[in-house]
Chains A and B, each alone.
Chain A
Amino acid sequence: MIVTSLKPLDEILDSISPYSNILIAGCDGCTQPPRGLREAKTLSQLLELGGRLRDKDFQFKVTTVVKQCDSFLTASALKSQMDGAEAVLSLACGAGVQTVAELFPDLPVLPAQNTHFIGVEDREGGILEDSCAACGDCLLVLTGGICPVTRCAKGLLNGACGGARNGKCEMDPDRDCAWELIFQRLERQDKLDRIKEFRSPRNYQAKAWRLTP
């Protein structure tokens, strides 16, 4: 899932202050936490209250889109709702914001969030963690399903570096050493020989910028 966090309300208020009629578009897609209809509505309420303190009277309309990064879905969901809107405030990730911006090039489309990473969520602990760099050259098969590109602070493909203490990274004592985790996982699966396999330097060309589905 795409992990995002809401921008401070002040920053959003600054960005929307030139406009009065604003459409807030939630996204039901992969953003985590989900930023659907409830968040769109909550945000409109908070911004309305914040606007009052700035003597600004905003008119918000709220809606949500199944997946804002899908231009077909987004176009069909938003087109009918754009009447009178001077700007769109998007609750999608960066990709979703850009999709809306492309679809409505005459309108300012403003992000309500910062997009951080492709991550996994531990709901019990309430933690989201970076777990995929979208590097285009997946080597999880060699590493027991644990990604060293994201989870090793140094991004080493041939770890461990030797700096770990008690299983924790030397750069951040709160962070597990990814290569120790990889070693344990492979050992558990009786596939330790894989760790001996040399992985050639990362192919940065593999990071694609455009693909055909």
Chain B
Amino acid sequence: MNKVAPQKDRAQVEEVVDEASGKICLPPCQIACPIGLDIQRSHARIALLPPDTQEAHRQIIRIGDEIYQQNPLFLICGYICGLCERECNYKDQTGAIRRRMLLRLLTDYYLPYLETKPALASPTKEKVAVVGGGPAGLMCAYSLSKKGYQVTILERSPQLGGALWYIPRYRLPANIVDTTLRNLVRIANIEVKLGASMGDGGKTLDDLEEEGYQAVFVATGTLIPRPLSIEGKPVAGADRGGVMFGLNFLFDVNQGKVSPQLFQGRRVIVVGGGNVAFDVARTARRLGGDVSIVCLENEDKSSQDGIPADVEEIEGAEEEGIKINYCRGVEEIIGEGGKFNKIKCPQCISVFDETGLFNPKFDYSDAIYLEGDVLLITIGQAPEQAFYQQEDLLDGRGRLDIDQLTLMSNRKEGVFIGGDVRRVGFAAEAMRDGMIAAESIGRYLKGENLKSGRKKEYEGVAIPKRGSYKPQPELVWAPVEERLNFEPFEKGFSLEQAVEEAKRCLYCGPCKSCKACVALELQPGIPEIEFDKDLCISCGNCAFYCPYQAVKLDSPGGVSFDLAYCKGCGLCVAKCPAMAIELENWERERISALISQLLAEVQSPKILVFRCQWTVSPPRDGEFAPNIRTIDLPCAARVDTLHVLEAFQKGVDGVLIAACPEEDCHRGSGSREAQRLVAKLKERLSQIGYQDRLHFCSVSPRDPEQLDKELRQFRQRIEAVVSKREGK
């Protein structure tokens, strides 16, 4: 009986601007997401997935469709991203909402569906070329195709994916990348030319123009590994046998070009302290190597010179038996007969100088020697510059000469550059560049202003007031002895776990920029507060009880509402002693009229249910239909003493309040406050013998039986009350 969520256009989502700062308010996760995904919105929808697996499956496809519109690579993000989690307001309570795992659950269901997902309409507008088929290029191509442009991706290697192919398969399974990209190209009608290199004997930008491409997005990534150096000079011995670059190694492994026992019985030293170095080390470990890491940085991640790799990577590597040598540089690569056998590692006493620049200092008197058979250098990567030089796209200092807002070259009109080549970063950041470039290209081809209205400032919304916080679920990794292979070792969430985790989300962001409730047809729009200043007695209840900082006390006296932060829960309405506040769609008179109307059609014993709309499951027809009528409220917080008593006055025999469990309340403290209000009212009702007629219960939307059970018991109780009264 759960309501079916219809597919509503995201266009109805509105930007909410903070009155004081003039900045756009969003939940911090959405600001942190380079793509700007509506994280809150999909969490609200996951949290309300029905218990019926098939129906849940159908709804997940809809949620996936909605995310896909914005980000067709979300299936990959579920394995490798999680930037949003770094800014989650919940982080400082019990730990961030595990958004990445939620995306991964969506992927579990969405990936098979992707094969049948209908393609977009065939593009008819101008031809655009995208050079580089990595995350930036793919995202740009998709965004342009959505706008109707005919896009061709020119990729120099034999396959799409770019830097995704440097990510080990135990983190990102190959079938995820393969299925996602293959279908993306199909769905978005993108033409792909593999093995098409630019510059150095390949094509030039002029060639592309001649071929009829009206604009070009260049995102060639950073595929040149950075060589080892010390004090500004190359480290001696880097040409010895057994020395290689980690990046090339990762690529070869992912391509299946190496034997699974490549490093069996060999000692592997990995130089570098970033996430890629850990990918290299853990990959080498999986190929049988006895692996150690050497890095300049220290163990204390919170310090300036702390190791940059993620905690999970460090923990995982250590569990897998990888030794980390902190605070060591590489001064010399030593060997015999042209083959490397040890490195000399002086102590690194500082990595960054006072100005924050990378400028490591060493104590050469304290050096150790590390012996090994293979040396993998993974200390960063740089773009290949030749092409950009040939095309005159660099400035006098050898940097890309582009506009940072639009990504258009300052030297060549219609040429846009982005992704890692602009700034090495996370995949999602490269994808953002692709989106930015697509927007710019669209404007460019339409002859519009490239810059107007694009510079936006955001403000993260604070965490709502709440009684308690639920613990963060632990990630489950396969035990070490089972995970030294290329199968993903992180266990995904089950549907139940995902729903529980989504329910932890506090929906910090403004309602108008989310509108999940509207998409779920819970309410027609976000209700607004109507405040009558003349009635206000400045008691401050509204400001005190508001879970969202939407009410500010003015000095002297009075209050003001900031609708950017108001979520329309109605708690202030129920708490206002002066009845100075009304909530749109749930005005006092409207509810009163509804009570009368419902009462006219219900049979004795007459039961009225005031129910939080987020508990969704409606009472079943049949069994309860004759005796029970329901009024849905935006949140249990809007339960009003006046309406409960009015119902009794009008002849209702029993009133049941159905709220979400306190810890699942979508509106901060609504459920808790409703419970308190009912307890207080019951106490007063007990003074006139009405206490049995009012009952508060918390029910989960995922378990419709719960409400049925409560209703059944309550009806029995009310029947007893009624027969006693009639007997008298």
Residues on A lying within 8 angstroms of B by beta carbon are 6, 8-10, 13, 28, 33-39, 41-42, 45-46, 48-50, 53, 64, 66, 123
Q: How far is the CB of A38 from chain B (nearest CB, A)?
A: 5
Residues on B lying within 8 angstroms of A by beta carbon are 535, 537, 539, 541, 544, 576-579, 641-642, 645-646, 648-649, 684-685, 687-690
Known: A28-B537, A37-B578, A37-B579. A42 touches B687 (CB 8 A): no
A34 to B714, CA, bound (A): 33
Between-chain CB contacts (< 8 Å), 27 pairs: A9-B687, A10-B688, A13-B688, A28-B537, A28-B577, A28-B578, A34-B541, A34-B577, A35-B577, A36-B577, A36-B578, A36-B579, A37-B578, A38-B576, A38-B577, A41-B642, A42-B645, A45-B645, A45-B649, A46-B684, A46-B685, A46-B687, A46-B688, A49-B645, A49-B690, A50-B688, A66-B537
Q: Within 8 Å CB of B685, what residues of A?
A: 46
Q: How far is the CB of B722 from chain A (nearest CB, A)?
A: 14
Q: Within 8 Å CB of B642, what residues of A?
A: 38, 41-42, 45
Pick the contact of A34 from B539, B641, B684, B689 — CB < 8 Å?
Answer: B539
Pick the contact of B579 from A6, A35, A38, A45 — CB < 8 Å?
Answer: A38
Most chain A CB within 10 A, of B578, B648, B685, B688, is at B688
Known: A45-B645, A48-B649. A38 touches B578 (CB 8 A): yes
Q: Within 8 Å CB of B576, what residues of A?
A: 38
Q: Within 8 Å CB of B541, what residues of A?
A: 34
Q: Within 8 Å CB of A34, what residues of B?
A: 537, 539, 541, 577-578
Q: Within 8 Å CB of B646, what residues of A?
A: 45
A123 to B539, CA, bound (A): 12
Q: Within 8 Å CB of A45, what residues of B?
A: 642, 645-646, 648-649
Q: Within 8 Å CB of A9, what residues of B?
A: 684, 687-688
Known: A34-B578, A42-B641, A48-B649. A123 touches B690 (CB 8 A): no
Q: Chain A interface mostly helix, strand, loop or mixed?
A: helix
Q: How far is the CB of A117 from chain B (nearest CB, A)?
A: 19
Quick check: B688 and A39 within 8 Å, CB to CB?
A: no
Known: A10-B687, A28-B537, A34-B539. A49 touches B577 (CB 8 A): no
Most chain A CB within 10 A, of B576, B577, B579, B646, is at B577
A118 to B684, CA, bound (A): 25
Q: Within 8 Å CB of B690, what residues of A?
A: 49
Q: Within 8 Å CB of B641, what residues of A?
A: 38, 42
Q: Shortest 3 CB-CB distances between A and B: which pairs? A: A45-B645, A34-B577, A50-B688
A28 to B534, CA, bound (A): 12
Q: Within 8 Å CB of A53, what residues of B?
A: 688-689
Q: Within 8 Å CB of A8, what residues of B?
A: 687
Q: How far is the CB of A67 from chain B (nearest CB, A)?
A: 10
A38 to B645, CA, bound (A): 12
A64 to B167, CA, bound (A): 70
Q: How far is the CB of B248 from chain A (nearest CB, A)?
A: 61
User: A42's closest neighbor in chain B, by CB?
Assistant: B641
User: B576's closest neighbor in chain A, by CB?
Assistant: A38
Most chain B CB within 10 A, of A6, A42, A64, is at A42
A42 to B588, CA, bound (A): 14
User: B644's closest neighbor in chain A, by CB?
Assistant: A45
User: B693's closest neighbor in chain A, by CB?
Assistant: A49
A66 to B535, CA, bound (A): 10
User: A26's closest neighbor in chain B, by CB?
Assistant: B577
Q: How far is the CB of B592 from chain A (nearest CB, A)?
A: 12
A42 to B578, CA, bound (A): 12
Q: How far is the CB of B540 from chain A (nearest CB, A)?
A: 8
Quick check: B578 and A123 within 8 Å, CB to CB?
A: no
Q: Within 8 Å CB of B544, what residues of A?
A: 123
Q: Within 8 Å CB of A6, what residues of B?
A: 684
Q: How far is the CB of B553 from chain A (nearest CB, A)?
A: 13
A45 to B645, CA, bound (A): 6
User: B646's closest neighbor in chain A, by CB?
Assistant: A45
Q: Within 8 Å CB of A28, what residues of B?
A: 537, 577-578
A50 to B689, CA, bound (A): 8
Q: Within 8 Å CB of B645, what residues of A?
A: 42, 45-46, 49
